[in-house]
Structure 1
């Protein structure tokens, strides 16, 4: 790759004679955050540890990339934390958005997801349990997905995904810091199958077209499993050739399948790169250098033409990227109250929603106007997971704040 060190422009390096393909590089993007210096700050990692017990998550989850720093802001680098401190005074709302409900789940929340029919919210907790919540019911907690193994391990649920399609409405996938992938039957509260890896599993994604579930690991590997046979289908990773950059070099925090092509998907993580994969190839076929993904910070539009990338840093936080070319469509400026993006999702065709930490903020952004239409600041210490009731459409929204899920409503 080549860089002239200036501005926020692009340079295309098309001189790849080793099969790497044309890689698109946003110039002068901010690198990853540094590790914290104080004991309190060191407990707040890109998958946050509990702030009550101070217990580390094991398997390297409590360590940040070495020799890396976020872009400059008015405050010092050492004051940066993945979960910031909540300001006094409660939530501050701006625009056509309101908080419908706030539900205490009794433990720190790591991931959440609406069920396929949108009637319940699945909440993955610090202790390894998954609560099934009906926000509209008087007794909001319906059931808990946990067993002897999850209770014994007592390690966080790092990601929850539902299997697309009405026939799979009770099929729930969950990844764990223990290295497990568990596929649950929500109706029977039982595990359909379980797979254990030596390293932590940080994310997963069900293929919307074929019977495959992919997981992203702490060592940079991506593994694809056949949901029906429960057997390993592929291992996708960086090649051993030191001259090739065709896979992740660090933790993978997000996987998003192409909505129309069953063989293609994207991934992002701590190494500051989005990789584009063809499941028939052992290594990535393209990469987009720059976005620093520290959670659920990737999404694709419904036609598979654009990527939305949210980075945990002070500049170039929110990028719209053309999927075919890797070119940046727009670099949406952050608000004056700058919040580091940890999670995002398309909200209808023309809007996106983001959740952030350091300064806790939820935003709804008009992608055509490139401006914030509504926001909530100070909604707890930080937002690391969100979902909308009817995925891809403007609908009710669930966001986490520490131990609570908040149900929001946005109107244009």
Structure 2
């Protein structure tokens, strides 16, 4: 059972116009660990399938495994001959449903992106770059995918043909910044504007992009992103940053203006990852200590802190289930990649 930190936070505005947090006592959540499994190397990425029944996880030793949700029973190892011959660290695993077909995208430090038949453990195609790939982001509505590069560039490919469609990069003009100038670790497509996306990485900026243009259209500075620490709310109005830095680690920003909106909590640990849990909550994963924190966005509460005991939580995913609307119950399964441990947790919360 996780430990609860009895904190609720209300925003107050500082002289800079950015909200800070004060603390009071919250409602009591229910957190139940459904299962844990140990791997032979650090797990860098783990995600649920679209229906929440399957889990895919990739590790630093180049292995990708397929698990059954809730039991964490290992169903099979996802690999082909290239992976058997070259154990390249897995930087992301992303299961998606495209045209009623379950696909799995994996990205590898070696410069590969592989697309798999998620059910049949068959590699359908491989794209190869002469560059470390730090993540892959599928765009299911346009049947494209985006690669995140160690070379500060992102590349858009056609899913069917594997052909390069666009490269997104900084023009390095003197008058303004139009892209990244360091490693890129996270990106997110806009939920409504089909041609727009955001990205973040080591240069401490979040860049805003239109897929029809090679340079960014605006940006903000102040978020050092080292993992899956970037998200958008369901309306595409607010950007969530979970940053690996000593202060202002978890923040919301206005999407339209790229201006600060809110600092979420007085988090002191640096963050690897985080995401929205529907419209009402945010979950974050931190380093040293490796904790998972859930924040209520309606009253700015830190609802609960789950201590994993690991040095860092590298990835957090969630599968939302229906709760009792009359009783206002949140019912969600969480998937945590913390060091070499993959954990699944049931989160229930009665909120008012």
Task: Tell me the TM-score range normalised by the shorter chain.
Answer: 0.7 to 0.9
Q: Does 1:281 align with 2:213?
A: yes
Separation (CA, whole Å) in 2 of partners of 1:146 and 1:261? 35
Q: Which residue of 1 aligns with 2:64?
A: 130
Q: 1:145 aligns with which of 59, 62, 78?
A: 78
In structure 2, which of residues 101, 111, 114 is the aligned counterpart of residue 168 of structure 1? 101
Measured after TM superposition, the shift of residue 8 of structure 1 is 7.7
Shift of 1:285: 0.5
Instruction: Determine the C-alpha separation between the residues in 2 that align with 1:186 and 1:162.
Output: 7
Matched, 1:9 2:52: no
1:115 is aligned, of 27, 35, 49, to: 49
Distance in 1 between residues matched to 2:90 and 2:15, nearest whole Å: 36
Query: Contact 2:44–2:91 (CA<8 Å) still a contact in 1?
Result: yes
Deviation for aligned residue 1:164? 4.1
Please tell me the root mean square deviation across aligned C-alpha atoms, in Å: 2.0
CA drift at 1:195: 0.9
Match among 329, 333, 336 for residue 396 of structure 1:
333
Paired residue secondary structure (2:320): coil
Return the alpha-carbon distance in structure 2 between the equivalents of residues 289 and 258 of structure 1: 19
Q: In 2, Cα distance between the equivalents of 1:164 and 1:271?
A: 32
Equivalent position to 1:158, from 73, 91, 111:
91
What are the equivalent positions in structure 2 for 1:319-358 lying under 5 Å apart?
A: 319-335=251-267, 338-358=268-288
The alignment status of 1:244 with 2:176, answered yes or no, reads: yes
Task: Structure 2: give runs of 5+ residues left out of the alignment.
Answer: 1-13, 19-27, 323-329
1:102 is aligned to 2:102: no
Distance 1:232 1:395 in 2: 37
Number of matched residues?
A: 320
1:360 is matched with which residue? Answer: 290
Corresponding residue to 1:186 among 113, 118, 121: 118
Please identify runs of 4+ aligned residues in structure 1 that moved more than 6 A: none
Unaligned runs of 5+ in 1: 1-6, 11-25, 27-93
Q: Give the strand-richer structure, 1 or 2.
A: 2
Aligned twin of 2:312:
382
* 1:307–1:168 distance in 2 versus 1, CA, 3 Å: farther
Q: TM-score, normalised by structure 1?
A: 0.74
Q: Secondary structure at the match of 1:228?
A: coil
Aligned to 1:257: 189
Q: How does 1:230-241 map to 2 (within 5 A)?
A: 230-241=162-173
CA distance change for structure 1 residues 318 and 8 in 2, over 3 Å: closer, same or farther? farther
What secondary structure, in the 3-state scheme, does the structure 1 residue paired with 2:209 have? strand
Deviation at 1:189, TM superposition (A): 1.0
Q: Which residue of 2 aligns with 1:4?
A: none
Q: 1:175 to 1:391 in 2, by over 3 A?
A: farther
Shift of 1:100: 1.6
2: distance between equivalents of 1:238 and 1:258? 21
How much has 1:230 moved relative to structure 2?
1.3
Residue 106 of structure 1: how far off its partner (Å): 3.3
TM-score by length of 2: 0.86
